[in-house]
Each structure stands twice: as structure tokens, then as C-alpha cells.
């Protein structure tokens, strides 16, 4: 994290204010419905029903967390296997290598076909996007653990479980966390797509619904909220990283 949190926050606020100024300027110049002024948008934002808005945000975050959780669950084991055993790596590497470059968002219709239009396809898409990144980062994280880290543990009489707990897992977790931070943005974007269909909750639904109703102020309010939720998530990962990755910072 930043060495001086106070100045960091100040800089963030400055950029935040500058962006709003730019927005206000553009809105004044354009003077069209499609870009309301910040004031109008914030007025719409505060006119929203609090409980319902929270439900939208909560639903979206819930889907993201479920997707992350599923991806971790599915990605950790293959990543660990590939990192620890050259044979498993040989076996699984071509699969990962071939499927990694496929733009996962292109699989959205497939996910909808197989998993339906409900929660399963939404969570499944997020997991699908994250899981390959997690597999690769866990593998590389485990591979990067120096051999003598294990050697000292072995010489002390550590068993398989102890070696895993003290060496393999921390090595894997640290690289997993930095991957999560990078791929969270992608996951959030995909969430938007999946919330366009088959649901009446979530930030994606909220934004598209306002768009359909031509309520642009509310649409932008939704975009603001969606961004804020993304920012909060990013901060959370930052915080976790700060708390657990002090040894690397």
C-alpha cells in the first residue's frame, strides 16, 4: 500500500473532484439528455429507495463473491498439483494453455444454454473468467518457492501436511491474491453482462432498467454506484493484501 495514506487519499479526492469538474463542463457544453450534470445525477442518486438500492448492490456483490469462491475452489487444487508435480503440470499445461486465450465472455451464450438464465450462469461466468488465472498464478507461485524452504522443514522432521501448511499454501496464497486483484475488474465487467438477463436485481439490471426507461439521471447514478462497489471491492483486496502480505510489500 501507499507509504503515506493521508496524501494518497488526498490525491484520490483531487482526481475525483477533477473528473467531476470535467463531467460538469462536458454536460454544460453538450446540454443534452444523454449526459445530465453531476448535480442532477446526485439528486437522482439520493432520491433512490435506500433499501432497494442496497438489495441491488448486495445481489451483485453476492454474485461476485460466489464466483470468486467457486473459482478458488476449482482453481486451487489443479494449481497446487501443477506447481508441485512436473507430471501433473505436463498433463494439465496444454489444457490450460489452449483454453487460456479463449475470450471467456464469448462463452456467455454457452453458459446460458447449459446453466440457464438464473444465478448459476451468472456465478459460473465469473468463476470461469477467474479460474484459469488462479490456476496459473497458484502454479507459478508454488513453483517459485525456493527448494531450501522445504529442505529446512524436512530436516526438522516436517511431514507432508506441515510442509504444505508452512511452505506451499502461503506461497500459493500470495500469488493468488495478486491475481485476484488484477482479474477482479474483468469479473466485475462480466457481472454487468450477466445481470442484463434473467434477473430483477443487481447493478447491471438497475442500470439497464433505467436506460430502458430513458431515466438517464438514474442510469448514471447506477453507474456511479456500480463503480463505487467495484472500488470498495478493490480496497478490500488491498486491505487483505496489506494485512497478509506484509512480508512481500
* Distance from C-alpha of 82 to C-alpha of 135, rounded to nearest angstrom: 8
Q: Which region, judged by CB under 8 A, interacts with other proteins, from 1-9, 45-53, 116-124, 144-152? A: 144-152
Is residue 153 involved in binding other proteins (CB under 8 A)? yes
In the shown chain, the binding pattern of residues 160 to 199 toward other proteins, with x for contact by CB under 8 A and - for none, equals: --x---xx--xx--x-------------------------
- C-alpha–C-alpha distance, residues 97 and 112, integer Å: 25
**Region 220-249 residues binding other proteins, contact defined as CB under 8 A:** 246-248
Calpha distance 24→131 (Å, rounded): 40
Least Cβ distance, residue 181 to other proteins (angstroms):
18
- The reply to whether 1 sits near other proteins by the rule CB under 8 A is no
HSE, CB side, 13 Å, CA atoms: give it for residue 84. 15
What is the b/e burial string over 74-91, where b = at least 16 CB atoms within 10 angstroms of the residue's CB?
bbbebbbbbbbeeeebee
> Is residue 128 within 8 Å of residue 108, measured between CB atoms?
no
Please report whether residue 154 would count as binding other proteins according to CB under 8 A: yes
3-state secondary structure 200-241: CCCHHHHHHHHHHCCCHHHHHHHHHHHHHHHHHHHHHHHHHH
Q: Which is nearer to other proteins, 86 or 109 (CB)?
A: 86
CB of 90 to other proteins, least distance (A): 19
Is there binding between residue 102 and other proteins (CB under 8 A)? no
Owner of C-alpha cell 432497494: 52
Residue 46 as a binder of other proteins (CB under 8 A): the answer is: no
Nearer to other proteins, 136 or 167 (CB): 167
Shortest approach of other proteins to residue 158 CB, angstroms?
5
Q: How far is the CB of 235 from other proteins (least distance, A)?
A: 23
Note whether 176 and 141 are within 8 A (CB): yes
CB of 170 to other proteins, least distance (A): 4
Distance CA 71, CA 176 (A): 11
| Nearer to other proteins among residue 142 and residue 225 (C-beta) | 142
Measured distance CA(127)–CA(191) in Å, rounded: 11
Q: Binding residue for other proteins (CB under 8 A) from 148, 211, 231, 242? A: 148
Cell of 148: 531450501
Choosing from 4, 52, 151, 200, the residue that interacts with other proteins (CB under 8 A) is 151
Residue 128: name the closest of 92, 97, 95, 103 by CA.
103
| Interface stretch with other proteins, choices 62-70, 154-162, 202-210, 230-238 (CB under 8 A) | 154-162
Closer to other proteins by Cβ: residue 92 or 153: 153
Residues that bind other proteins (CB under 8 A): 146, 148-149, 151-158, 162, 166-167, 170-171, 174, 246-248
Amino acid at each position: 500500500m501507499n507509504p503515506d495514506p493521508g496524501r494518497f487519499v488526498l490525491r484520490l479526492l483531487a482526481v475525483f473532484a477533477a473528473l467531476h469538474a470535467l463531467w460538469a463542463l462536458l454536460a454544460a457544453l453538450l446540454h443534452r439528455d444523454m449526459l445530465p450534470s453531476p448535480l442532477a445525477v446526485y439528486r437522482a442518486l439520493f432520491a433512490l429507495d435506500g433499501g432497494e438500492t442496497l438489495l441491488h448492490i448486495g445481489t451483485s456483490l453476492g454474485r461476485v463473491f460466489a464466483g470468486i469462491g467457486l473459482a478458488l475452489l476449482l482453481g486451487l487444487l489443479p494449481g497446487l498439483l501443477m506447481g508441485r508435480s512436473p507430471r501433473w503440470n505436463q498433463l494439465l499445461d496444454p489444457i490450460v494453455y489452449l483454453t487460456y486465450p479463449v475470450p471467456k465472455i464469448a462463452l456467455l451464450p454457452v453458459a446460458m444454454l447449459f446453466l440457464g438464465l438464473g444465478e448459476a450462469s451468472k456465478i459460473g461466468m465469473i468463476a470461469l473468467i477467474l479460474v484459469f488465472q488462479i490456476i496459473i498464478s497458484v502454479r507459478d507461485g508454488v513453483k517459485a518457492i525456493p527448494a531450501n524452504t522445504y529442505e529446512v522443514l524436512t530436516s526438522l522432521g516436517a511431514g507432508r501436511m506441515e510442509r504444505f501448511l508452512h511452505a506451499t499454501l502461503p506461497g500459493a496464497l500470495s500469488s493468488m491474491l495478486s491475481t485476484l486483484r488484477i482479474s477482479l475488474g474483468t469479473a466485475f465487467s462480466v457481472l454487468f453482462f450477466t445481470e442484463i438477463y434473467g434477473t430483477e436485481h443487481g447493478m447491471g439490471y438497475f442500470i439497464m432498467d433505467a436506460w430502458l426507461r430513458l431515466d438517464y439521471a438514474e442510469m448514471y447514478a447506477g453507474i456511479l454506484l456500480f463503480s463505487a462497489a467495484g472500488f470498495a471491492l478493490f480496497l478490500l483486496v488491498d486491505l487483505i493484501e496489506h494485512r497478509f502480505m506484509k512480508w512481500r510489500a
